[in-house]
């Protein structure tokens, strides 16, 4: 939902790229969000193959609640971890990610 909220006019393919999901999965997820009334879906006026997605007020409320929870959990998890410690962790995770993407190096 946050991807839709932050990127008006985003396509389902673009959402899939952002959240690392295939098109069928994105379609199922959007169907569930529409059914839950977190997102509305309307046919694009100029291209019937496309849809316009919009986050509803109840969807925005859920995003806010989840964001608040994430921020609280992050604060608890990182309690007592120094800025230097975070930088070391970030550097190590970045290297692990690079190694995973380029295993031959």
For residue range 82-95, what is the model confidence (pLDDT) as tens digits?
Answer: 999 999 999 999 99
73 has pLDDT over 70: yes
User: What is the pTM for the complete model shown?
Assistant: 0.72
Beta strands of 1-105 (E only): which ranges? Answer: 39-43, 51-55
Specify whether the CB–CB gap between 51 and 44 falls below 8 A: yes
Given this model, what pLDDT does residue 9 score?
Answer: 85
Q: Which two tokens stand for residue 54?
A: 């919009």
For residue range 15-64, what is the model confidence (pLDDT) as tens digits?
Answer: 999 888 998 999 999 999 999 999 999 887 888 778 889 999 999 999 99
68 has pLDDT over 70: yes
């Amino acid at each position: 939902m946050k991807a839709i909220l932050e990127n008006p006019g985003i396509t389902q393919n673009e959402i899939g790229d952002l959240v690392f999901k295939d098109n069928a999965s994105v379609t199922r997820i959007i169907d569930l969000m529409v059914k839950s009334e977190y997102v509305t879906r309307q046919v694009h006026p100029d291209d019937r193959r496309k849809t316009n997605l919009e986050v509803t007020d109840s969807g925005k409320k859920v995003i806010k609640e989840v964001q608040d929870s994430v921020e609280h959990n992050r604060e608890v998890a990182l309690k007592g971890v120094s800025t230097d410690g975070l930088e070391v962790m970030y550097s190590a995770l970045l290297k692990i990610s690079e190694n995973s993407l380029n295993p031959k190096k």
